[in-house]
Amino acid sequence: MEEDKGTVCVTGGTGYVASWLIMRLLQHGYSVRATVRSDPANCKKDISYLTNLPEASKKLQFFHADLNKPDSFNTAIGGCIGVFHLAHPMDVDGKEPEEAVTKRAVEGTLGILRACLNSKRSVKRVIYISSAATILYNNKGLSVTDESTWSDLDICRSSKLVNPSYLLSKTITERAALEFAAKNGLDLITLVLPLVVGSFICPTTPSSVSLALAMILGEEDHYEYLMHSFMVHIDDVASAQIFLLEYPNAQGRYICSSAEMTMHQMYEFLLARYPEFQLPNMEDHFKKSTSYGHSSLSSMKLLSTGFRFKYGVQEMFDGAIRCCKEKGFL
Protein backbone atom coordinates (compact mmCIF):
# COMPACT_ATOMS: atom_id res chain seq x y z
CA MET A 1 0.00 0.00 0.00
CA GLU A 2 1.35 3.40 -1.00
CA GLU A 3 1.41 6.52 1.18
CA ASP A 4 -1.69 8.70 1.63
CA LYS A 5 -2.10 10.67 -1.60
CA GLY A 6 -5.16 12.66 -0.63
CA THR A 7 -8.89 12.40 -1.28
CA VAL A 8 -10.56 12.03 -4.67
CA CYS A 9 -14.20 11.75 -5.75
CA VAL A 10 -15.56 9.12 -8.17
CA THR A 11 -19.06 9.79 -9.52
CA GLY A 12 -21.25 6.87 -10.53
CA GLY A 13 -19.29 4.76 -8.07
CA THR A 14 -21.17 1.46 -8.46
CA GLY A 15 -20.52 1.06 -12.21
CA TYR A 16 -18.12 -1.32 -13.93
CA VAL A 17 -15.34 1.14 -14.73
CA ALA A 18 -15.88 3.16 -11.55
CA SER A 19 -15.77 0.18 -9.19
CA TRP A 20 -12.52 -1.10 -10.70
CA LEU A 21 -11.07 2.42 -10.53
CA ILE A 22 -12.04 2.70 -6.85
CA MET A 23 -10.26 -0.57 -6.11
CA ARG A 24 -7.08 0.67 -7.83
CA LEU A 25 -7.25 4.14 -6.21
CA LEU A 26 -7.37 2.55 -2.76
CA GLN A 27 -4.37 0.42 -3.69
CA HIS A 28 -2.52 3.54 -4.85
CA GLY A 29 -2.99 5.24 -1.48
CA TYR A 30 -5.94 7.53 -2.23
CA SER A 31 -8.96 8.07 -0.02
CA VAL A 32 -12.10 7.85 -2.14
CA ARG A 33 -15.53 9.45 -1.98
CA ALA A 34 -17.91 7.54 -4.25
CA THR A 35 -21.23 9.02 -5.27
CA VAL A 36 -24.30 6.79 -5.69
CA ARG A 37 -27.82 7.71 -6.79
CA SER A 38 -29.48 6.06 -3.79
CA ASP A 39 -29.01 7.38 -0.27
CA PRO A 40 -26.20 5.19 1.15
CA ALA A 41 -27.94 5.08 4.53
CA ASN A 42 -31.03 3.43 3.03
CA CYS A 43 -29.52 1.83 -0.07
CA LYS A 44 -31.08 -1.54 -0.92
CA LYS A 45 -28.49 -2.20 -3.62
CA ASP A 46 -25.71 -4.59 -2.65
CA ILE A 47 -22.47 -2.59 -2.60
CA SER A 48 -20.49 -5.10 -0.55
CA TYR A 49 -18.16 -5.57 -3.54
CA LEU A 50 -16.98 -2.05 -2.75
CA THR A 51 -17.24 -1.96 1.04
CA ASN A 52 -15.28 -5.23 1.29
CA LEU A 53 -12.32 -3.92 -0.71
CA PRO A 54 -8.99 -3.72 1.15
CA GLU A 55 -8.69 -0.33 2.90
CA ALA A 56 -12.36 0.48 2.14
CA SER A 57 -13.34 0.59 5.81
CA LYS A 58 -10.76 3.32 6.38
CA LYS A 59 -10.60 5.15 3.08
CA LEU A 60 -13.89 4.75 1.19
CA GLN A 61 -16.96 6.89 1.80
CA PHE A 62 -20.29 6.96 -0.03
CA PHE A 63 -22.33 10.07 -0.83
CA HIS A 64 -25.81 10.41 -2.27
CA ALA A 65 -25.73 12.48 -5.48
CA ASP A 66 -27.90 12.55 -8.60
CA LEU A 67 -27.34 14.16 -12.01
CA ASN A 68 -30.93 15.41 -11.79
CA LYS A 69 -29.81 17.52 -8.84
CA PRO A 70 -26.43 19.00 -9.85
CA ASP A 71 -25.89 20.69 -6.47
CA SER A 72 -26.07 17.30 -4.77
CA PHE A 73 -22.42 16.64 -5.66
CA ASN A 74 -21.10 19.63 -3.68
CA THR A 75 -20.54 17.80 -0.40
CA ALA A 76 -18.76 14.84 -1.98
CA ILE A 77 -16.43 17.06 -4.02
CA GLY A 78 -15.58 19.69 -1.38
CA GLY A 79 -12.00 19.20 -0.17
CA CYS A 80 -11.03 16.66 -2.82
CA ILE A 81 -7.82 17.05 -4.81
CA GLY A 82 -9.23 15.32 -7.88
CA VAL A 83 -12.54 14.24 -9.38
CA PHE A 84 -13.26 11.33 -11.72
CA HIS A 85 -16.60 11.95 -13.40
CA LEU A 86 -18.04 8.66 -14.69
CA ALA A 87 -21.76 9.06 -13.98
CA HIS A 88 -23.90 9.36 -17.11
CA PRO A 89 -27.62 8.80 -17.69
CA MET A 90 -28.20 5.50 -19.46
CA ASP A 91 -31.29 5.27 -21.64
CA VAL A 92 -30.40 2.02 -23.41
CA ASP A 93 -33.95 1.33 -24.60
CA GLY A 94 -34.52 4.84 -25.94
CA LYS A 95 -37.59 5.39 -23.76
CA GLU A 96 -36.69 8.99 -22.91
CA PRO A 97 -36.61 11.88 -25.39
CA GLU A 98 -33.05 12.63 -26.52
CA GLU A 99 -33.40 16.21 -25.28
CA ALA A 100 -34.18 15.04 -21.73
CA VAL A 101 -31.21 12.66 -21.58
CA THR A 102 -28.82 15.29 -22.95
CA LYS A 103 -30.17 18.00 -20.63
CA ARG A 104 -29.66 15.80 -17.58
CA ALA A 105 -26.15 14.79 -18.66
CA VAL A 106 -25.03 18.34 -19.47
CA GLU A 107 -26.57 20.05 -16.45
CA GLY A 108 -25.34 17.33 -14.11
CA THR A 109 -21.81 17.53 -15.51
CA LEU A 110 -21.70 21.33 -15.37
CA GLY A 111 -22.98 21.18 -11.80
CA ILE A 112 -20.10 18.86 -10.93
CA LEU A 113 -17.61 21.18 -12.61
CA ARG A 114 -19.04 24.17 -10.71
CA ALA A 115 -18.62 22.23 -7.47
CA CYS A 116 -14.97 21.72 -8.45
CA LEU A 117 -14.55 25.46 -8.98
CA ASN A 118 -16.25 26.20 -5.66
CA SER A 119 -14.05 23.80 -3.73
CA LYS A 120 -11.71 26.63 -2.77
CA ARG A 121 -9.43 25.35 -5.53
CA SER A 122 -8.70 22.12 -3.68
CA VAL A 123 -9.61 20.22 -6.87
CA LYS A 124 -6.48 20.29 -9.00
CA ARG A 125 -7.81 18.24 -11.93
CA VAL A 126 -10.99 16.60 -13.23
CA ILE A 127 -10.93 13.42 -15.31
CA TYR A 128 -14.10 13.07 -17.39
CA ILE A 129 -14.87 9.69 -18.94
CA SER A 130 -16.07 10.02 -22.52
CA SER A 131 -16.80 7.50 -25.25
CA ALA A 132 -15.53 6.63 -28.70
CA ALA A 133 -19.10 7.49 -29.73
CA THR A 134 -18.01 11.13 -29.58
CA ILE A 135 -15.48 10.52 -32.37
CA LEU A 136 -16.48 7.69 -34.69
CA TYR A 137 -19.81 8.95 -36.03
CA ASN A 138 -18.64 11.29 -38.77
CA ASN A 139 -18.52 11.36 -42.57
CA LYS A 140 -14.95 12.61 -42.95
CA GLY A 141 -13.76 9.35 -44.49
CA LEU A 142 -10.64 9.22 -42.31
CA SER A 143 -8.67 6.00 -42.14
CA VAL A 144 -7.40 6.99 -38.68
CA THR A 145 -9.11 9.32 -36.22
CA ASP A 146 -7.58 11.10 -33.26
CA GLU A 147 -8.65 13.52 -30.54
CA SER A 148 -9.24 16.35 -33.04
CA THR A 149 -12.18 14.45 -34.57
CA TRP A 150 -15.76 14.86 -33.33
CA SER A 151 -18.90 12.93 -34.21
CA ASP A 152 -21.41 14.73 -36.41
CA LEU A 153 -24.66 15.35 -34.52
CA ASP A 154 -26.85 14.74 -37.56
CA ILE A 155 -25.17 11.38 -38.15
CA CYS A 156 -25.69 10.55 -34.47
CA ARG A 157 -29.40 11.36 -34.77
CA SER A 158 -29.78 9.05 -37.76
CA SER A 159 -28.01 6.08 -36.11
CA LYS A 160 -29.90 2.80 -36.40
CA LEU A 161 -27.24 0.81 -34.55
CA VAL A 162 -26.63 2.70 -31.31
CA ASN A 163 -29.34 4.62 -29.47
CA PRO A 164 -29.08 8.23 -30.78
CA SER A 165 -29.72 9.71 -27.34
CA TYR A 166 -26.55 8.06 -26.03
CA LEU A 167 -24.44 9.27 -28.97
CA LEU A 168 -25.79 12.80 -28.77
CA SER A 169 -25.67 13.13 -24.99
CA LYS A 170 -22.06 11.90 -24.78
CA THR A 171 -20.88 14.15 -27.62
CA ILE A 172 -22.70 17.28 -26.48
CA THR A 173 -21.75 16.75 -22.83
CA GLU A 174 -18.03 16.33 -23.52
CA ARG A 175 -18.00 19.45 -25.68
CA ALA A 176 -19.87 21.41 -23.00
CA ALA A 177 -17.46 20.21 -20.30
CA LEU A 178 -14.37 21.22 -22.30
CA GLU A 179 -15.87 24.63 -23.12
CA PHE A 180 -16.81 25.26 -19.49
CA ALA A 181 -13.35 24.26 -18.29
CA ALA A 182 -11.60 26.50 -20.84
CA LYS A 183 -13.81 29.46 -19.96
CA ASN A 184 -13.36 29.06 -16.20
CA GLY A 185 -9.73 27.98 -16.00
CA LEU A 186 -10.52 24.48 -14.73
CA ASP A 187 -8.00 21.70 -15.40
CA LEU A 188 -10.16 19.11 -17.19
CA ILE A 189 -8.97 15.98 -18.99
CA THR A 190 -11.32 13.77 -21.00
CA LEU A 191 -10.56 10.09 -21.52
CA VAL A 192 -12.26 8.62 -24.60
CA LEU A 193 -13.05 4.93 -24.16
CA PRO A 194 -14.01 2.19 -26.64
CA LEU A 195 -15.50 -1.14 -25.49
CA VAL A 196 -14.09 -1.91 -22.02
CA VAL A 197 -13.48 -5.63 -21.49
CA GLY A 198 -11.92 -7.72 -18.74
CA SER A 199 -12.49 -8.84 -15.17
CA PHE A 200 -15.16 -7.23 -13.00
CA ILE A 201 -15.94 -6.98 -9.30
CA CYS A 202 -19.53 -5.75 -9.67
CA PRO A 203 -22.22 -8.44 -9.12
CA THR A 204 -23.84 -8.25 -12.57
CA THR A 205 -22.26 -8.66 -15.99
CA PRO A 206 -21.25 -5.22 -17.31
CA SER A 207 -22.98 -4.30 -20.58
CA SER A 208 -19.65 -3.89 -22.38
CA VAL A 209 -18.57 -7.38 -21.28
CA SER A 210 -21.89 -8.86 -22.42
CA LEU A 211 -21.41 -7.15 -25.76
CA ALA A 212 -17.86 -8.47 -26.20
CA LEU A 213 -19.02 -11.99 -25.29
CA ALA A 214 -22.14 -11.87 -27.47
CA MET A 215 -20.99 -14.79 -29.66
CA ILE A 216 -20.27 -16.94 -26.61
CA LEU A 217 -23.49 -15.93 -24.83
CA GLY A 218 -25.54 -16.44 -27.99
CA GLU A 219 -26.95 -12.91 -27.89
CA GLU A 220 -27.69 -12.53 -31.59
CA ASP A 221 -29.19 -9.07 -31.17
CA HIS A 222 -25.72 -7.85 -30.24
CA TYR A 223 -23.76 -9.35 -33.13
CA GLU A 224 -24.17 -6.27 -35.31
CA TYR A 225 -22.30 -4.18 -32.73
CA LEU A 226 -19.22 -6.33 -33.35
CA MET A 227 -18.80 -5.48 -37.05
CA HIS A 228 -15.60 -3.68 -36.09
CA SER A 229 -14.69 -3.46 -32.42
CA PHE A 230 -12.29 -1.19 -30.57
CA MET A 231 -11.40 -2.45 -27.10
CA VAL A 232 -9.34 -1.77 -24.01
CA HIS A 233 -8.68 -3.77 -20.85
CA ILE A 234 -10.47 -2.56 -17.71
CA ASP A 235 -7.22 -2.38 -15.72
CA ASP A 236 -5.56 -0.27 -18.41
CA VAL A 237 -8.52 2.11 -18.17
CA ALA A 238 -8.07 2.49 -14.41
CA SER A 239 -4.31 2.94 -14.83
CA ALA A 240 -4.83 5.58 -17.52
CA GLN A 241 -7.20 7.56 -15.31
CA ILE A 242 -4.80 7.58 -12.37
CA PHE A 243 -1.87 8.30 -14.67
CA LEU A 244 -3.62 11.32 -16.20
CA LEU A 245 -4.61 12.63 -12.77
CA GLU A 246 -0.94 12.58 -11.76
CA TYR A 247 0.74 13.46 -15.07
CA PRO A 248 1.58 17.19 -14.84
CA ASN A 249 1.48 17.97 -18.57
CA ALA A 250 -1.86 16.35 -19.38
CA GLN A 251 -4.13 18.47 -21.60
CA GLY A 252 -7.46 18.04 -23.37
CA ARG A 253 -8.74 14.76 -24.81
CA TYR A 254 -7.03 11.35 -24.78
CA ILE A 255 -8.16 8.26 -26.67
CA CYS A 256 -7.59 5.07 -24.66
CA SER A 257 -7.94 2.16 -27.13
CA SER A 258 -5.47 -0.71 -27.32
CA ALA A 259 -7.02 -3.23 -29.73
CA GLU A 260 -9.34 -3.50 -32.71
CA MET A 261 -10.90 -6.55 -34.33
CA THR A 262 -13.29 -7.22 -37.15
CA MET A 263 -16.18 -9.56 -36.48
CA HIS A 264 -14.41 -12.33 -38.42
CA GLN A 265 -11.16 -11.83 -36.48
CA MET A 266 -13.03 -11.98 -33.17
CA TYR A 267 -14.82 -15.16 -34.22
CA GLU A 268 -11.57 -16.87 -35.22
CA PHE A 269 -9.92 -15.76 -31.98
CA LEU A 270 -12.77 -17.08 -29.83
CA LEU A 271 -12.93 -20.33 -31.78
CA ALA A 272 -9.22 -21.02 -31.27
CA ARG A 273 -8.92 -19.73 -27.70
CA TYR A 274 -12.10 -21.14 -26.17
CA PRO A 275 -12.99 -24.42 -27.94
CA GLU A 276 -15.24 -25.39 -25.04
CA PHE A 277 -17.90 -22.97 -26.26
CA GLN A 278 -20.27 -23.73 -29.12
CA LEU A 279 -20.09 -20.64 -31.32
CA PRO A 280 -22.94 -19.79 -33.70
CA ASN A 281 -22.74 -19.83 -37.49
CA MET A 282 -21.71 -16.29 -38.41
CA GLU A 283 -21.46 -16.47 -42.21
CA ASP A 284 -24.36 -14.11 -42.90
CA HIS A 285 -22.97 -11.62 -40.39
CA PHE A 286 -19.49 -11.84 -41.93
CA LYS A 287 -20.94 -10.81 -45.30
CA LYS A 288 -22.38 -7.67 -43.73
CA SER A 289 -19.16 -6.85 -41.91
CA THR A 290 -16.98 -6.98 -45.05
CA SER A 291 -18.80 -3.96 -46.47
CA TYR A 292 -18.76 -2.07 -43.18
CA GLY A 293 -16.53 1.00 -43.42
CA HIS A 294 -14.55 2.02 -40.39
CA SER A 295 -11.93 4.39 -39.12
CA SER A 296 -9.24 3.31 -36.67
CA LEU A 297 -8.78 5.03 -33.31
CA SER A 298 -5.33 6.40 -32.55
CA SER A 299 -4.04 6.35 -28.96
CA MET A 300 -0.74 7.96 -29.92
CA LYS A 301 -1.39 11.07 -27.83
CA LEU A 302 -1.79 8.97 -24.69
CA LEU A 303 1.23 6.82 -25.56
CA SER A 304 3.33 9.95 -26.15
CA THR A 305 3.00 10.78 -22.44
CA GLY A 306 4.85 7.60 -21.53
CA PHE A 307 1.75 5.63 -20.61
CA ARG A 308 1.79 2.00 -21.77
CA PHE A 309 -0.99 -0.56 -22.15
CA LYS A 310 -0.26 -3.73 -20.19
CA TYR A 311 -2.92 -6.05 -21.54
CA GLY A 312 -4.03 -7.45 -24.87
CA VAL A 313 -7.15 -9.10 -26.26
CA GLN A 314 -6.33 -12.46 -24.69
CA GLU A 315 -6.23 -11.01 -21.18
CA MET A 316 -9.44 -9.04 -21.84
CA PHE A 317 -11.45 -12.12 -22.78
CA ASP A 318 -9.74 -14.46 -20.28
CA GLY A 319 -10.65 -12.12 -17.42
CA ALA A 320 -14.21 -11.54 -18.62
CA ILE A 321 -14.91 -15.25 -19.13
CA ARG A 322 -13.33 -16.23 -15.83
CA CYS A 323 -15.49 -13.74 -13.91
CA CYS A 324 -18.62 -14.82 -15.77
CA LYS A 325 -17.90 -18.43 -14.82
CA GLU A 326 -17.14 -17.56 -11.18
CA LYS A 327 -20.38 -15.59 -10.87
CA GLY A 328 -22.47 -18.25 -12.60
CA PHE A 329 -23.20 -16.38 -15.81
CA LEU A 330 -21.47 -18.99 -17.98
Residue 54's pLDDT band (cuts 50, 70, 90): very high
For residue 168, give every residue at least 6 positions away whose Cβ sits within 8 Å of its Cβ, in sequence order, or none. Answer: 98, 101, 102, 153, 156, 157
Among positive and negative, which fits the CA dihedral 190, 195, 201, 207? Answer: positive
Judge whether 191 and 18 are in contact, CB under 8 Å. no
Instruction: Return the top range by mean pLDDT from 19-23, 35-39, 66-70, 141-145.
Output: 19-23
- What's the N-to-C CA distance of the chain in angstroms? 34
Average pLDDT over residues 39-50: 74
Prediction pTM value: 0.94
* Residue range 192-239, pLDDT digits in tens: 999 999 999 999 999 999 999 999 998 988 998 898 899 999 999 999
Identify the CATH number of the domain defined by range 6-196+232-258+294-310. 3.40.50.720
Q: Catalytic annotation on 170?
A: yes
User: Which pLDDT does position 291 carry in this prediction?
Assistant: 47
Segment 243-258 mean pLDDT: 98
Q: What is the pLDDT of residues 56-105, one digit of tens each?
A: 999 999 999 999 999 999 999 999 999 999 998 765 555 778 888 899 99
Answer with the residue of higher pLDDT: 144 or 309: 309
Give the C-alpha separation, 79 to 249, whole Å: 23
pLDDT digits (tens, 9 = 90+) for 283-330: 877 766 654 557 889 999 999 999 999 999 999 999 999 999 999 999
Q: What is the pLDDT of residues 102-132, one digit of tens each?
A: 999 999 999 999 999 998 789 999 999 999 9
Active-site residue identified among 45, 95, 170, 310: 170
Whose CA is closest to 35, among 7, 63, 58, 70? Answer: 63
Polymer length of the chain: 330
Measure CA 329 to chain center: 22
The pLDDT score that the predictor gives to residue 135 is: 95
Confirm if 330 and 278 have CB atoms less than 8 A apart.
Answer: no
Minimal CA–CA distance to 307: which of 234, 233, 247? 247
